[in-house]
Amino acid sequence: MIFERILGPLDSLFDRIGRRKTGDAPLAAFLLVPAVLVLGVFGIYPLFFSIYISLFDLRMGRGAFCGLENYTEALTTPNFWHSLVVTLYFALGTIPVAMALSFLVASALFRIVRGRSILRTVYFLPYVTSVVAAATIWRVLLNPHYGLVNAALGAVGFEETRWSQWLLEPKGVLYLATGGLIPESVGPSLALCCVILFEIWHSSGFMIVILLAGMTAIPRELEESARIDGANWFQVTRRVTVPLLSPTIFFLLIISAIKAFQAFNSFYALTGDGRGPVNATQNMTVYIYASFFLNGREGYGAAVATLLSVAIVALTLAQWRFVGRKVYYE
């Protein structure tokens, strides 16, 4: 009712201006102005300003133009590549597991009749819970001295786990699992694996809700026809459910990849400063944060942020190019 009172006079005004010549363009432009202003001030302008300051050396307030030196330094610095590897480990560790787990849970919830709403709420609750609050609980649970995880594992016979460092362990999880057969530097650290587990737990609720919405849109008669023809659950899922759900899966893949490369809250909240022991959990966004606020190198941090943006755009285009063509649209 309120929108009708506001848009009605505007529509009449633009009719007098000359809708026959311009159509609905004036009204559409007028309604788009607030959104364009918000995107321009908080999105487009910061992007180009970040690119601009990446061309300057802003240490100690000098502001000297340095061209592409910040980019060259970033691409030749071991810490930059280490943070990129940590980011890749994080993305590869969270996205496939979270999507597979969310698909199984969504499939089970879709077939449950009683208590479906309560279970949906329970699975969605971690996603709407504050990251800082949830991470604080996880830090207490994983505390190497009085944490409940070590106490529980020790109670069932794993006494050596009482000395496990969890979020304080910089050694690779493969090194720890194989007793030193694999070098420490190969694979994600145990601290990073804890962050990965936290992110899977925290983000699965969103995926479950989206997958449930996609499953609801699939015509039930297609699955019933497949079962009548003798297909089992795996065959129905592979041949019917997954192809029809591919647009939803592709959407989650795009969103999850972007989110994984931009992850910051879970790293910072779990480890205190985001970097963890010996920079074991320092991903790209934490590296940018450290360059800006801890090292006082705004120009260098802006250059790394620009490189990260280019990497995210390239990854998204690659997903559209190679994965998008396999998506089935009705």
Per-residue pLDDT tens digits for 190-226: 899 999 999 999 989 899 999 988 888 888 888 888 8
Identify whether residues 31 and 117 lie together within a single domain. Answer: no
Does the residue 71 lie in any domain? no
pLDDT given for residue 225 in this prediction: 84
pLDDT given for residue 255 in this prediction: 94
Identify whether residues 95 and 17 lie together within a single domain. Answer: no
Q: Which residues of 261-300 are buried (b: 16+ CB within 10 A; e: fewer)?
A: bebebbbbbbbeebbbbebbbbbbbbbbbbbbeeeebbbb
Does the residue 31 lie in any domain? yes
Identify whether residues 271 and 194 lie together within a single domain. Answer: yes
Identify whether residues 196 and 302 lie together within a single domain. Answer: yes
pLDDT given for residue 21 in this prediction: 55
Identify whether residues 163 and 26 lie together within a single domain. Answer: no
Identify whether residues 226 and 313 lie together within a single domain. Answer: yes
Weakly modelled stretches of the chain, pLDDT under 50: none
Q: How far apart are CA 134 and CA 127, in angstroms?
A: 10
Helix (H, G, I), strand (E, B) or coil at 199: helix
Q: Are 192 and 168 in contact (CB under 8 A)?
A: no
pLDDT given for residue 326 in this prediction: 78
Identify whether residues 192 and 257 lie together within a single domain. Answer: yes
pLDDT given for residue 264 in this prediction: 92
Q: Which contacts qualify for 86-89: CB closer than 8 Å, 24 or more apart?
A: 86/188, 86/192, 86/280, 86/281, 86/282, 86/283, 86/284, 87/260, 87/261, 87/263, 87/283, 87/284, 89/187, 89/188, 89/192, 89/196
Does the residue 91 lie in any domain? yes
Does the residue 32 lie in any domain? yes
Q: What is the CATH number of the domain that holds 314?
A: 1.10.3720.10
Q: How far apart are CA 297 and CA 287, in angstroms?
A: 11
8-state DSSP, 129: S
Q: How far apart are CA 222 and CA 207, in angstroms?
A: 23
The values of phi and psi at residue 94, to 5°, are -95, -45
Q: What residues make up the domain containing 124?
A: 76-326
pLDDT given for residue 7 in this prediction: 55
Q: Are 17 and 30 in contact (CB under 8 A)?
A: no
Does the residue 256 lie in any domain? yes
Does the residue 233 lie in any domain? yes
Identify whether residues 303 and 259 lie together within a single domain. Answer: yes
Number of structural domains in the chain: 2
DSSP state string for 71-97: HHHHHT-HHHHHHHHHHHHHHHHHHHH
Contacts of 187 (CB under 8 A, 6+ apart): 89, 172, 173, 174, 175
Identify whether residues 303 and 186 lie together within a single domain. Answer: yes
pLDDT given for residue 330 in this prediction: 63
Does the residue 124 lie in any domain? yes
Identify whether residues 122 and 6 lie together within a single domain. Answer: no
Identify whether residues 10 and 122 lie together within a single domain. Answer: no
Does the residue 60 lie in any domain? no
